[in-house]
Amino acid sequence: MLLEMLTNEVDAAAGNLARDNQTLCQLLRRAVVALRPVDSALAEETAAALAEPTDPSLTVTGLAARNQRLRGLLEELLVVCEDAADSAQASQDLMSLRSDAYRATCGK
């Protein structure tokens, strides 16, 4: 019974990480376009991360490593968004992306 409980926990963790990674990738794909006029280096780094091959085995370790990489990029994106929020660089796309990113990270 203990083994079954552990298996269920690992399966749930893998599923949650896979869904979170998918959501982060969708946000970051939009970010590449919105970031180019404001921070082209971050846009290119984000595009490169999205193009990296992913581990098809769906191990928790692999999913967690990918999640950490994507969340790091999302944090950088939010810093750029906050810096641009009160400036002429604050495009509608960037501000919409900021709202969606906060919504995704807060789980709402």
The percentage of the chain sitting over the pLDDT mark of 90, rounded to a whole number, equals 54
Q: Is the pLDDT of residue 107 over 70?
A: no
CB of 89 closer than 8 Å to CB of 36: no
Nearest Cα neighbor of 81 from 34, 41, 44, 17 is 34
**Joined tokens for residue 81:** 């968004």
Q: How confident is the model at residue 32 (pLDDT cuts 50, 70, 90)?
A: very high
How far does Cα 68 stand from its chain's mean position? 9
**Distance between CA 34 and CA 52 in Å, rounded?**
20
